[in-house]
Amino acid sequence: MTGAYKDARVIVTGGAGVIGRELIGLLSGAGATVMCVDLKPRPEGMSAAIEYAEGDAVELSPSQVATFAPTHCFHLAATFERTTETEGFWGENYHHNLVLSHHIATLMRGAPSIRRYVFASSYLAYDPALYVFDAPQDAPTVLVEHTPIRPRNLCGGAKLMHEGELTFLAEFSGTPFTSVSARIFRVYGRGSGDIVSRWVRALTVEPQTTLEAFLTEGMFDYVYAGDVAEGLLRLGASDATGIVNLGSGRARRVSELIEILERRFPGARWAQRSEDVGYEAHEARLDRLVEVTGWRPPTTLERGVDIVADYEAAAVSSS
């Protein structure tokens, strides 16, 4: 599979994020030349061989793309707010999700060298009435690519809109690439801002700290960022088009996550808090991912927590 990227020229938007850093490492190891576009400065430790364009990807120009001459684009850049979107997110979502995705696809459509476009979409496109409940559930709702859609929030709506744009572009001969949209589930990873990583980081700094846990009976499909990157890489090397779920394929309760953390950090303390957002209970069905890639994400939540904890411990010891 990695042979598909030997001598490839790959643009990664949002490459400084938790998934992007993992993906760029895989692409570089597979022999690709990579251009990373991100608002954030070059991450510490990122190879100098990576061409780095710091700035708003909405300002990426046709001349920059033409000079780089990409064969692949992985569009990961996005903005989102956790749990509840604020009023101020109205403009942010429009610029950094809707306008950005349209701009990137337009740029790639004008690049005759490109042959593959991979979009990082989200399970937030699925109808939340099917997986968010007023009471804890005995089992998760299994979300399949043909599960009814009704975006949960602005971010989910923006993701769904770009899926539709890519479907539209596929109908015209002027589009030089084929595309696939990966509906990604609850990501956690090294140096991330997700709840798993934040809890691990806090416990690494102070093993006896008290952390707030909400709705511990909720169930989420937590997927390790390294597995997401591997899945995106494999989807990019496949001939799959349309929608493909990308999660761990196994729902885990928040209470299970707490138990895993307590085994790693025996002094951890928890304060139960209530939150009026409903109990999530979802799990990705991965049949299509396995069908088109021959691969299934291997990292369990137990193993993933250990990876993140080792990363955070190393960061503390080096500071």
pLDDT tens-digit profile, the chain (319 residues): 658 999 999 999 999 999 999 999 999 999 999 999 999 999 988 999 999 999 999 999 999 999 999 999 999 999 987 667 889 889 999 999 999 999 999 999 999 999 999 999 999 999 999 999 999 999 999 999 999 999 999 999 999 999 999 999 999 999 999 999 999 999 999 999 899 999 999 999 998 889 988 889 999 999 999 999 999 999 999 999 999 999 999 999 999 999 999 999 998 899 887 777 889 999 999 999 999 999 999 999 999 999 999 999 998 887 6
pLDDT in the model for residue 135: 94
**CATH 3.40.1280.10 fits domain 2-318:** no
CA angle 314, 315, 319 (to 5 degrees): 115
Residue positions counted in the chain = 319
Q: What is the pTM of this model?
A: 0.96
Helices (H), the chain: 18-29, 62-68, 89-93, 100-109, 154-169, 195-205, 225-237, 254-264, 287-293, 301-318
Q: What angle do the packed helices 195-205 and 254-264 form, to 10 degrees? A: 30
Domain ranges (residues) in the chain: 2-318
Q: What is the largest CA-CA distance in the chain?
A: 61
Query: Which percentage of the chain shows pLDDT scores above 90?
Result: 86
pLDDT digit string (tens) for 24-34? 999 999 999 99
Rounded Cα–Cα distance for residues 284 and 265 (Å): 29
φ, ψ for residue 188, nearest 5 deg: -140, 160
CA distances from 127 to 130, 140, 152 (A): 6, 14, 7
pLDDT in the model for residue 2: 57
